[in-house]
Amino acid sequence: MNPVTGRFAPTPSGYLHLGNLFSSLLAWLSAKSLGGKILLRNEDLDPDRSRKEYALQAQRDLERLGLFWDEGGSLGGPHGPYDQSLRFDLYSSQLAKLESQGLVYPCFCTRAQLHAASAPHASDGELLYAGTCRDLTRQEIAERSRTRSPALRLRVPEETISFSDLHYGPQQQYLPTDCGDFILRRSDGVYAYQLAVVADDAAMEVTQVVRGRDLLSSTPRQILLYQLLGYSPPEFAHTPLLLAPGGRRLSKRDGDLSLAGLLESGWTPRDIVGNLAYLAGLLPEPAPAWPEELLPLFSWEKIPREDVIIPDDLFQHRRVF
């Protein structure tokens, strides 16, 4: 039995950018430095945003950088299928568990109504649901269902969820005001990331989740779902984000920071890994390295907590070695 199972969980909505590769490298090092394994799950929940081509390219990119996984993706394994689009039966059975506890209600709000009625979260500017559909009567539900298919929301309890992030330390959220009732299934029948990721990490026996800091504020609601579904949560370690010069967030649309773009401009995979390791504080200066070679150097203490701005020369595709 492996002591640690970590995972890569890319959404195939574009090519992996340098920030995705940065957190993948840290997820790999964190699990492997403890003698653990990594699985690869394709988070293609949303059919409108996901493309098979991106999922295949993500596998090729990870392999090129020496970020080999042990289960999932092209390897398959005992917890398959590893594509979220093929796992809706699991999500539906987990949703049924929550329904049987009386914790799920239909929400008929339109996007415009949500924007009008919601207050932004204190933490991250996300919208806090105002609870408009929380207490609809059976009759109201029946009437509204005639003209609109509802999303399904979780009725969050009046509880505080606390946990200690391996990298960012103690965290807590009071669910009613920091999180609010959140979506479990969209009105078009697509399951929400929060439900799917918990159902999958539990079913795949993931014990360590390493991912970008942008998901830190989602973690309390995921821990709540673990509790309600009767699973113990994994440990969580969030990584700082890599930012473009000037501090702009990277997005998958930043094709110029895709691996293909960097390789085309003359970088080798070892250059890229070495640079990411330097930005992560694992190397004193950029020097080519494979992930394997970084294992003895890895420790969470060396990784910065502040987001890391990619130096200009790197962003411009100029070689820095």
Q: Using CB under 6 A as the criterion, which residues of the chain lie in contact with ligand GLU when the complex forms?
A: 9-11, 43, 197, 211, 215
Q: Which is nearer to ligand GLU, 10 or 180 (CB)?
A: 10
In angstroms, give the least distance from the CB of 11 to ligand GLU: 4
In angstroms, give the least distance from the CB of 24 to ligand GLU: 10
In angstroms, give the least distance from the CB of 12 to ligand GLU: 9
CA distance 161 to 103: 17
Query: Cα 116 to chain center, whole Å?
Result: 28
Strand 235-239 vs strand 71-72: parallel, antiparallel, or unpaired?
Answer: unpaired
Residue 138: partners with Cβ closer than 8 Å, 6 or more residues away: none
Q: How many CB atoms lie within 10 A of CB 206?
A: 22
Strand 208-212 vs strand 235-239: parallel, antiparallel, or unpaired?
Answer: parallel
Q: Which is nearer to ligand GLU, 58 or 107 (CB)?
A: 58
In angstroms, give the least distance from the CB of 215 to ligand GLU: 5
Q: Which is nearer to ligand GLU, 17 or 153 (CB)?
A: 17
SS (H, E, C) 160-195: EEEEEECCCEEEEEEHHHHHCCEEEECCCCCECHHH
Q: Which is nearer to ligand GLU, 237 or 282 (CB)?
A: 237
Q: Which is nearer to ligand GLU, 10 or 106 (CB)?
A: 10
Strand 5-8 vs strand 37-40: parallel, antiparallel, or unpaired?
Answer: parallel
In angstroms, give the least distance from the CB of 7 to ligand GLU: 7
CA distance 294 to 134: 50
SS3 at position 241: coil
In angstroms, give the least distance from the CB of 242 to ligand GLU: 13
Q: Which is nearer to ligand GLU, 107 or 209 (CB)?
A: 209
Q: How many CB atoms lie within 10 A of CB 299?
A: 12
